Structure 1
Amino acid sequence: MESSRASEKKKLKRKEILEKKKAADQLLKVASAQIDHLTSFPSFCYFNKNGLCLRLESGRGDKLSNCTKQQIQKLLKANMMGPYGSEWAVEEKVKRREMVAPEARYIFVYWNANEMMDNAFTPLLGFLHFRFTLEEEIPVLYLYELQLDSSVQGKGLGIGWVLWC
């Protein structure tokens, strides 16, 4: 009789764990399926403060152009090579793999110049690399990178992102 109750409790506990995992997996699936994470927040597509007039665009790691990959790498190197020192060569390889993963999501920062042609080269001024993942069985938005070009640092853009996330 006692072992029957214990067995039933284990089954219920196992079922509860599986249901929570299924719900968490579904949340991640829905969040990751969204193509443009900024469409629900049109007011976040532009940053016009402190002398900056910027536009923000969404992106995915598995859809990055070669040009965008090169700009990300250049910005990472400019900002991170010094702090990593001799470990940068190894860390750079890790970051290159992370940046193109299918689950990698981005918000890119560019100058908002209306006179620029859509196909004209526009330098990348910053990016936010994030992912939707599980952390100790809890669905979270994990911030991998927040990188800004020195020309836009110290003007409130980075702290705005951190508060938004």
Structure 2
Amino acid sequence: MSLFVFGYGSLMWRPGFPYERKEFATLRGRHRRLCVYSFVHRGTETRPGLVLGLDRGGACRGIVFTVAEAERSNVVAYLRAREQVTLVYKEVVVPVVTASGAAVEALAYVVDRTHRQYAGKLSLDETLGHVCGAAGMSGANEDYVLATADLLTEAGIADPRLHTLAARLRQRAAA
């Protein structure tokens, strides 16, 4: 049986694992938010960045990847190494509906609101302050935000808060 993986942030534009197919999908009951202090991938403990988490409420459009059964254990191991570095995410199976109308159960990583890296709902200025200048082992926090916003724009997915942040980042870079 195939494995389905739901991506809503960098997994959408840099999955890093083999897959047979990808399709846009919607997850209800969770929304995408820059609500995780990044101590490893896009920041450090002394200069944390912010990365996306699936927080409760609303809905999230992302990408569901179909992984062949033969690749299942390798992909799950890869995702755990990538997403569970500090255990700020809970590995869960969630129901998503694909753009073609199929309902599937997909592996996803949702934010643990009790974890010390949970940032909650920050103002746009607070978010900008964390993102600007932060960098970790996967690169600059600004690049992560812009790549995600660009993919959402190309796909016609509205995320006003993320797009506003991306516009502010571009304004700062141009100044």
Determine which structure has the larger strand proportion and give its number. 2
TM-score by structure 1 length?
0.24
Greater helix proportion = 1
